[in-house]
Amino acid sequence: MSSATAGGAVDSRMDIHEILNYLPHRYPFLLVDRVLDVVPGERITALKNVSMNEPFFPGHYPHHPVMPGVLVVEAMAQTAAILSFKTMGSKPDDKSVYYFVGIDNARFKKPVGPGDQLVIEVRLAGNKRGIWKFSATAKVDGQVAAEADLICAVRPTP
């Protein structure tokens, strides 16, 4: 979906079809529905539409459904992976794996539930020898739901 517009600017939005080219995840573990903006080497903004049909809701507080915090962090990591691949100018393949290797300073500030739209903002903090560091925030209605510093690595498949 990224393409040059009439004025020469680059459209940095990605629909689900393009996202599927940048993430190996599939249902029920694909947690990014759309990319609103991506600037390779800098930042990305994506969203996850949280539906009552999510497979975790029947068992995660059925009387008061809440998206598990670890899945909010996973959505942030998947968004970071898209930023990494866009920055490298490549896509995932069967010769390497993009691992989520660390979480620092994770904080959960607001529950995420059915009907919420999770807006995920990730900034690249650094990349050295295949280790990527990010600062990530997930918001609902402009309020921070979760934030964390993420560490990821691209490694050859065994």
| Beta strand segments in the chain, E | 3-4, 10-11, 34-39, 43-49, 96-108, 117-128, 131-140, 143-156
The one catalytic residue among 17, 25, 60, 63:
60
Label each residue of 97-131 as H, E or C.
Answer: EEEEEEEEEEEECCCCCCCCEEEEEEEEEEEECCE
C-beta of residue 82 within 8 angstroms of C-beta of residue 46: yes
Question: Which residue in 140, 141, 71 sits closest to 103, CA to CA?
Answer: 71
Residue 17 known to be catalytic: no
Residue with tokens 């598990």: 68
Question: Which residue in 111, 28, 35, 100 sits closest to 69, CA to CA?
Answer: 111
Beta pairing, strands 143-156 & 43-49: unpaired
Catalytic positions, written as ranges: 60
